[in-house]
Amino acid sequence: MRCPTKRPAPRRGAATVELAFVLPFLTVMFIMAVDYARVFYYAQIVENCARNGAYYASNYSPQIYAYPDVASAVAEDAKDLTPAPSVTTRYSANADGPYTSTLRTTGFVEVTVSWSFNCLTDFKLGPSNVTLKRSVRMQIAPNLPTFGN
Overall average pLDDT of the 103-109 stretch = 68
Assess contact for 91 and 107: CB atoms under 8 A.
yes
Q: Is residue 6 part of a domain?
A: no
- Domain for residue 145, yes or no? no
Work out how many domains the chain is built from and give that number.
1
Position 97 pLDDT exceeds 80: no
Tell me, yes or no, whether 149 lies in a domain: no
Digit-coded pLDDT (tens) for 44-77: 999 999 999 988 888 766 556 677 888 888 888 8
Domain presence at residue 48:
yes
Residue 148 located in a structural domain: no
Could you tell me if residue 10 is inside a domain?
A: no
Examine residue 31 and state whether it is found in any structural domain, yes or no.
yes
pLDDT of 103? 46
Domain carrying residue 32:
16-139
70 within some domain: yes
Confidence band for 101, pLDDT divided at 50, 70 and 90: very low
